[in-house]
Amino acid sequence: AQSVTQPDIHITVSEGASLELRCNYSYGATPYLFWYVQSPGQGLQLLLKYFSGDTLVQGIKGFEAEFKRSQSSFNLRKPSVHWSDAAEYFCAVPTQGGSEKLVFGKGTKLTVNP
Amino acid sequence: GAVVSQHPSRVICKSGTSVKIECRSLDFQATTMFWYRQFPKQSLMLMATSNEGSKATYEQGVEKDKFLINHASLTLSTLTVTSAHPEDSSFYICSATGGFQETQYFGPGTRLLVL
């Protein structure tokens, strides 16, 4: 079965600092990969997705992610974090090829210090 | 981007009653909708997959008679928690997609508290 691992449960950064959130996946073929963000008490918002092509994907709110097949990773990055970026971040991958169902990582909570 | 709404945003009910949660895709036709449950500080757990005009497919361990799902149109799916108990208290989130390889768009969630 496909799986997603987000090794960091909680990350704290200072406002203006750079950010990298890790995501590793287990998947039989080239996966579709997603990053979602969830603010407290809210649903999930899509930040970016990778289906194919360029391995560096640009998303909303200044986020980007790079697909690295050799490392089975899809890490999320932002060069300069804003206080409003404080939220929970989830990486996701389809449960199997051809499936619309997603399996989510456990999430990484981001705290931003002023 | 596509918009998915949920109603109500929060509901409090007495134990033994039933609660209905609506999930609507506002600006696109959703061939598939998903229902998730999220416990505090945890990830999303898929409960069921709902396709318009057909019976929902439930994940292992989810009681289909307790969590009734109806997907009557391409823009509306409902989740009814029947005979709710305090352990059903949770955050329920729906998502909708327009088809294979399409992005899932999530609703804002419904906070259910069963007293």
Residue B107 touches partner A, C-beta closer than 8 Å: yes
- pLDDT tier, A97 (very low <50, low <70, confident <90, very high otherwise): low
- Given a cut of 80, whether residue A28 has pLDDT beyond it is no
Q: What is the mean pLDDT of residues B32-37?
A: 94
Confidence band of A100 (pLDDT split at 50, 70, 90): confident
Q: Which residues 18-37 of chain A have a CB within 8 Å of chain B?
A: 32, 34, 36
Q: How confident is the model at residue B101 (pLDDT cuts 50, 70, 90)?
A: low
Beta strand pairing call for B110-114 and B10-13: parallel
pLDDT in tens, A30-81: 778 999 999 988 889 999 999 888 899 999 999 999 999 999 999 999 999 9
DSSP string, B46-70: EEEEEETTS--EEPTT--TTTEEEE
Q: What is the pLDDT of residue A98?
A: 62
Q: How far apart are the first and last CA of chain A?
A: 41
pLDDT of residue B99: 63
Q: Do B33 and B98 contact (CB within 8 A), yes or no? A: no
Backbone φ and ψ of B12, nearest 5°: -120, 130
Binary contact (B46, A101; C-beta < 8 A): yes
Mean pLDDT (chain A, rounded): 91
Total residue count of chain A as it appears in this document: 114
